Amino acid sequence: MLTRQLQQQARRQAGVMIRTAGIHITDKEAEGIEVVDFGLSRLQKEGVQVLTLLQTERISVKVLALFPNQTEPEHWHPPVAGDPGKEETVRVISGTLYFYSPGENTFQEGFLVKGKEHCYTMRHELVMRPGDQITLAPGVKHWFQARDEGVVMYSFSTVARDALDQFTDKDVVRITKIIE
Amino acid sequence: MLTRQLQQQARRQAGVMIRTAGIHITDKEAEGIEVVDFGLSRLQKEGVQVLTLLQTERISVKVLALFPNQTEPEHWHPPVAGDPGKEETVRVISGTLYFYSPGENTFQEGFLVKGKEHCYTMRHELVMRPGDQITLAPGVKHWFQARDEGVVMYSFSTVARDALDQFTDKDVVRITKIIE
């Protein structure tokens, strides 16, 4: 859960990061930035801020902002009825992204979230900078992280059904609860 | 057709416009900008510059640059075997875009390309500025234009099969011929 105050503060911070990265967004879009704590109630450690630019029955375009040292928990996009699952391309706009997916263990620059090491099983590391991008087939486990400066990135994908994403950490709840 | 020299000059100009608009692209991407004259051999009047950021079997993301007073000819994305046709969302990044699609005739700010008036049949005008976007269902006829300052815009879509696009102007050839 998140307090309304913390949600609004995180939303403002993410909006500034996105605009500073050179992405022109409307005020209405900035006000709609989703602050996601994955039900873990420690947003600064495990969480993400999401601006959905486009969502149709076929395509999703999102801007993701990660605060410094914030980690998005390991997850994957399973097949759903009539759809092989979400194919996603991540493209870095500003900052350095530490991205983990299947492959040889090359873990070096990132860090595992304390007490949750077992929930981060992918250890193949990509250090991604502005202009770098990676495309993930449906079902591929991944997680990612910002270090000192935070990250702004695009997520281009087939239709997103966030509520159906699956997480290694069984404590995750995809819908963030806001308390007043 | 285009001379190699004109192609390279247009590619450089488009790269500068895209970067000035705040979009971070790699040098390799800039060198791959496609300069399209639609086989009409008058690029500055009818043409477009296209940077493909992403192309999979499901998704395409492109950055389009229009030079001042350049017009992209009227076209539509037909259904193809096993696919209802390309769904496309255009989002303006910099400049003002004059966008034409089906609806009431509200033609006012743009201009029709001289001698080709009959090839521009959609007269419902949208004046789009940075942050504005429109989603087009497959098969919807559209054309668009820049005025004094030029335009940079994203095109987010389902898989693009440019060679299958259909044009009102029967003189259009989608593959641009380059002469040395």
**Tens-digit pLDDT profile for residues A10-42:** 999 999 999 999 999 999 999 999 999 999 999
Q: What is the pLDDT of residue B160?
A: 86
Nearest to A24 among B56, B87, B93 (CB): B93
On the question of pLDDT at A161 being above 90, the answer is: no
Tell me which H or E stretch contains A10.
helix A4-20
Q: Exposure pattern of A116-135 as b/e (b: 16+ CB <10 Å)?
A: beebbebbebbebebbbbbb
Per CB-CB distance under 8 Å, the chain A contacts of B157 are 59
Tell me if chain A has a CB within 8 Å of the CB of B52.
Answer: no
Beta pairing partners, A80: A83
Contact B156 A59 (CB under 8 A): yes
Query: How close B33 gets to chain A, by Cα (Å)?
Result: 15
Residue ranges of chain B with per-residue pLDDT less than 70: none
- Residue B60: is it exposed, middle or buried by C-beta count within 10 angstroms (0-12/13-18/19+)? buried
Q: What is the pLDDT of residue B165?
A: 92
Grade residue A81 by pLDDT with cuts at 50, 70 and 90.
confident
> How many Å apart are CA A65 and CA A50, to the nearest integer?
7
> How many Å apart are CA A109 and CA B106, to the nearest integer?
56
On the question of pLDDT at A68 being above 90, the answer is: yes
Per CB-CB distance under 8 Å, the chain B contacts of A32 are none
Alpha helices in chain B (DSSP H): 4-20, 27-31
pTM exceeding 0.90: yes
More confident residue, A160 or A11: A11
Q: What is the pLDDT of residue A163?
A: 86
Nearest to A156 among B29, B54, B130 (CB): B54
Q: What is the mean pLDDT of chain A?
A: 95
More confident residue, B162 or A43: A43
Q: What is the pLDDT of residue A175?
A: 85
Residues 62-121 of B with CB under 8 A from A: 87, 89, 91, 93-94
Query: How close B113 gets to chain A, by Cα (Å)?
Result: 30
